[in-house]
Structure 1
Amino acid sequence: MKNTGNLFYRVVIIFILTMSFGSLSTAKADVPEMSSSLSAVKARGELVVATSPDYPPYEFLVNKNGHSTVQGVDIMVAKKVAKNIGVKLVVKKMNFDSLLVALQTGKCDMVIGGVNPTPERRKNVLFTKMYYHGGQYILVKKSMSWLYHDKNSFKNKTIGAQTGTTQYDLAKKQIKGVKVRGMTSYSDLVLALKTNKVNGVVMEKPAALAYAKNDGSLRAINAEFKLDKGTTGVAIAVKKGNVSLAQAANKGIDQIQKQDLVNKDYLKKAGQYLKVNTEDTSMWHYWRFFATGIEYTLIISIVSAILGLMLGLLLALMRLSKNRLWRGIAISYIEFLRGTPMMVQVMFVYFGIGVLINIPALLAGIIAVSLNSGAYVAEIIRGGINSVDSGQTEAAESLGLSMSDSYRFVILPQAMRNIWPALGNEFITLLKDSSIVSIIGVTDLIYESNLVRSDTYRGVMPIFIAMLLYFAMTFILTRILNHYERKMQYAN
């Protein structure tokens, strides 16, 4: 294949302009590079707190009159701290596994989410005083509660715990012969319990009691773990070295402990909020959650498909170029992106690049999915170009067409007809794989369905609804792609 010449450089310019425009258009959703010192928080007038709102009664979403807000014991603690500092509280939602990473990379000022200040965590972040000691319970099926009385009842059994938590370590160290199954969210763990994948789920006492109270098929029992009160209470995490902010938070925690606000006030209010969610657990009541999930899923998929197509064309032309440098860059990029999981790529863009630039979660998700899709699209386009008979290029040259015009009017149209089915499959895969961005807190369909599960205590139905919605979207997309495929064949 001859050097693609002018066409290659035109594509480079178009791609750069498009990416620049996309960055400018999403800049309004971004916040400036964030300093988390106490003075910076006061100057900004906002205290950004990250949490994972799937752990009632500590933090959960309340769906009232079609609007959702994050509520719970931890949120009340955070409000108290923000009020003492004299700033507005801003709550940022994301998966529990990502909370401490978000703190270290400057995505938030504080992390609050039933976090236990273990020695391992203290090496990486600074903790405030502990504001609550709830104890550790095990959630079991009520029909099997006659068999389980404490942690020793689970000898040689399978028990569930949230990955990376104190509960996971306690179960592993203090229950003989136990097999601990870790999952990222408690809604997944409770579903595993109900479907007999695990025999029990270890969680903080208030959370276990909340699940048992709102789900008649469950029961909470005292695990009777040997606890170190220095590590099994819950505290607020701030960035390492940010002593001034931790001290400011401690003043609020001192007031909370002095007045015993968690036991006397916060837990009661959290229970009242939980009643709002359980008054109507129909999926129709949560339609706004699913609608928001569909909206973000489509935004990510459409924008990423467009950018991925442009990047794929650029990489394909680079790989077909006779220039060794361009070809080497393209090959390296394609092999690397296809050889690493998209989940890792999403986290690297959001947290890794986020160390230098504070990229909002939605933009980070779009960038990561686009970069991943571009690698696959590049190979599809390259195969399509190579499938065009070399005589077509020679015929175009004999007519006096430049290389760029030959590609534009002769080669690429024929290649597009050849690769359309494969390209369509990539777009469908992209739509489904976009769910991975939920790990950084993008409110796509999977993220929203998980929130519905944790709020309603219904494990299966939200998943089923999400499946139907994904099927509907992919079915419609398939019909659209088939329509244009038929038009191409007819035009041919």
Structure 2
Amino acid sequence: MKKYKSWLQVLLLAFIIFLSAFVTDSQWQAAQTAPQDNYVQKVKAKKELVMGTSPDFPPYEFVKNIHGKSTVVGMDIEVGKKIASDLGVKLVVKRMDFDSLLVALETGKVDMVISGMNRTKERAQSVDFSEDYYHTGQDLLIRKADVHRFHNYRSFSGKVIGAQTGSIQYNLIKKQAKKSKIKGMDKDNDLVLGLQTKKVDAVALDKATAKAFVDNTAGLAQIPSGFKVDSAGSAIAFPKGAQSLVQAANKSIDEVHKHNLINKQYLPKVGKYLGSHKSEKASKKANSMWAYKDFFLAGVGYTLMISAISVFFGFLLGLVLALMRLSGNQILDKLASAYVEFVRGTPLMVQLLFIYFGLGLVVNIPALLSGIIAVSLNSAAYVAEVIRSGINSISIGQTEAARSLGMSKRLTMRYVIFPQAMKNIWPALGNEFVSLIKESSIVSVIGVKDLIYQSRLVQADTYRGVMPLVITMILYFVITFSLSRVMKYFERKMAHESK
């Protein structure tokens, strides 16, 4: 038996040697790296490739007002279109903050991330990267008046250097510019505004992005950063294990490099949107706030819609929670109390991110719906306490009188206690509703196009940091002041009826 086994092993070895004589190294490599997943099939089945990006990073991706419509343009968008076209599907661009992109990728909100992202060892532990599609360097953006004072990051000892949170520039400052102070923000536009207002002394940016800001913003200059970078190339991130998509993207990237599409087609196409070629008069007209009125109006519409729906469901759930706490049933009381304490003890942003990303692992909830759910659930906890305190403020004699007249507990609450309680809690409810309108701005972090989100787009498009914020403050004030007047009107009316 052992003899037959030894002969079998010899024959098997001979067969492998025979095959190796006819199969090339590239064929072996292709066989070993053959995709074992169905990501490409899924993309083709839904006929769209969803790309996540943070559109505040010119010339990679930024937003332009094209025929009154908010449109994401940029070099990365063109690369995304190329990959989608080669796959025979439509490209869908989903906007969100930069530090939320990889979370969105891991939770299935997007199929890929193209956002001027550099490949790092830390990121590669969570996602798979394509080949680099663009190589550039790292620069520092400074005020033009300081151009003779600073030469690279070593010149900023004791000074403040700003960078986008979660970016490679942020990590480079932490690791190499240890004598400098670091200031992290979510948006490059905020960092540039901080530079102009002397909150930071420099901003670390990709070389191409720094040039875009210098070309379109007066009083700025760029200098070499001096950072040692292993790879200054931008790559595309895919879900871990999505090798079929990685290989498809690499084929498209090879064509991009082969035909030099970025320099010959993509950047010239993007250049017409950056505005540096325009006359000063044309540039001022294009960047006026009136030209972006549709952006602000769209933001007001989303803000009012989110607030109105959240107020309605927040009030209903708050009423239920308050009645649970007042029911006398220990189980209901403890459940309602636990909910109220938990929601009031955790930040609204964390709740929002959990609903959008955390629950997204189980069910895909759209960003707008996630925002409405988060704001409604958060408001309900505060409304519940307002209603409970209002009901408790009513004298026990009212309940006893109603019950002595033969009214049931439910009817007593409905016709006697609750109407009186509403008069007491109306001012507090008004404050809660006004606060809810302002707090709803948090939904912008997941890409909901509310007023804050639209103001960010205007900042990115016009390179003006302060004026969009002024317009946004005025619009929020008009909304909240109008609501306050309406609440005051009903408060006076209820006070008059009680006399």
Instruction: Please say whether Structure 1 and Structure 2 have the same fold, judged by a TM-score greater than 0.5.
Output: yes
Name which of structure 1's ranges 315-324 and 365-374 shifts more when overlaid on structure 2: 315-324
Name which of 449, 452, 455 aligns with 2:461.
455
**Structure 1 position 333, deviation (Å):** 0.3
**1: CA distance, partners of 2:262 / 2:207:** 13
Name which of 151, 154, 164 aligns with 2:153.
151
**2: CA distance, partners of 1:176 / 1:268:** 38
Task: Tell me the matched-pair count.
Answer: 456
Match of 1:219 in 2: 221
| Contact kept? 1:445, 1:466, Cα under 8 Å | yes
The answer on 1:54 being equivalent to 2:56 is yes
Match of 2:198 in 1: 196
Query: The residue matched to 2:200 in structure 1 has which SS?
Result: coil
Match of 2:242 in 1: 242
The answer on 1:138 being equivalent to 2:144 is no
Alignment of 1:66-215 (within 5 A): 66-215=68-217
**Structure 1 position 401, deviation (Å):** 1.6
**Which structure is higher in RCO with an 8 Å CA cutoff and minimum separation 6?**
1
Look up the equivalent residue of 1:105 and give its one-letter code: T
Match of 1:439 in 2: 445
| Contact kept? 2:38, 2:244, Cα under 8 Å | no
**Structure 1 position 293, deviation (Å):** 0.7
Show structure 1 runs of 4+ deviating over 6 A: none
| Contact kept? 1:156, 1:176, Cα under 8 Å | no
**1: CA distance, partners of 2:325 / 2:145:** 62
**Structure 1 position 116, deviation (Å):** 1.0
**1: CA distance, partners of 2:315 / 2:264:** 57
**2: CA distance, partners of 1:474 / 1:144:** 42
Residues 254-297 of structure 1, C-alpha deviations (whole Å, 9 max, x = no match): 11111222223222221111228946111000011111110111
**2: CA distance, partners of 1:115 / 1:164:** 10
Look up the equivalent residue of 1:320 and give its one-letter code: L
Match of 1:287 in 2: 293
Look up the equivalent residue of 1:398 and give its one-letter code: S
Residues 42-69 of structure 1, C-alpha deviations (whole Å, 9 max, x = no match): 0111001111111111101111221221
What are the ranges of 5 or more consecutive residues in structure 2 without an aligned counterpart?
1-36
Match of 2:307 in 1: 301
**1: CA distance, partners of 2:340 / 2:152:** 53
Alignment of 1:445-484 (within 5 A): 445-484=451-490
**1: CA distance, partners of 2:361 / 2:291:** 39
Query: The residue matched to 2:166 in structure 1 has which SS?
Result: coil
Residues 143-176 of structure 1, C-alpha deviations (whole Å, 9 max, x = no match): 2212122222212210000011110111222224
**1: CA distance, partners of 2:77 / 2:294:** 23
What are the ranges of 5 or more consecutive residues in structure 1 without an aligned counterpart?
1-34
Name which of 354, 364, 369 aligns with 2:360.
354
Look up the equivalent residue of 2:298 and give its one-letter code: T
Query: The residue matched to 2:94 in structure 1 has which SS?
Result: strand
Query: The residue matched to 1:129 in structure 2 has which SS?
Result: coil
Match of 2:417 in 1: 411
Look up the equivalent residue of 2:484 and give its one-letter code: T
Query: The residue matched to 1:60 in structure 2 has which SS?
Result: strand
Look up the equivalent residue of 1:433 and give its one-letter code: E
Counting aligned pairs with the same residue, the percent is: 57
TM-score normalised by L of structure 1: 0.91
**1: CA distance, partners of 2:425 / 2:310:** 19
**1: CA distance, partners of 2:383 / 2:224:** 54
Match of 2:267 in 1: 267
Query: The residue matched to 2:457 in structure 1 has which SS?
Result: helix
Look up the equivalent residue of 2:254 and give its one-letter code: D
**1: CA distance, partners of 2:252 / 2:475:** 44
Match of 2:14 in 1: none
Query: The residue matched to 2:131 in structure 1 has which SS?
Result: strand
**1: CA distance, partners of 2:38 / 2:110:** 7
Match of 2:4 in 1: none
Match of 1:29 in 2: none
Match of 1:335 in 2: 341
Match of 1:38 in 2: 40
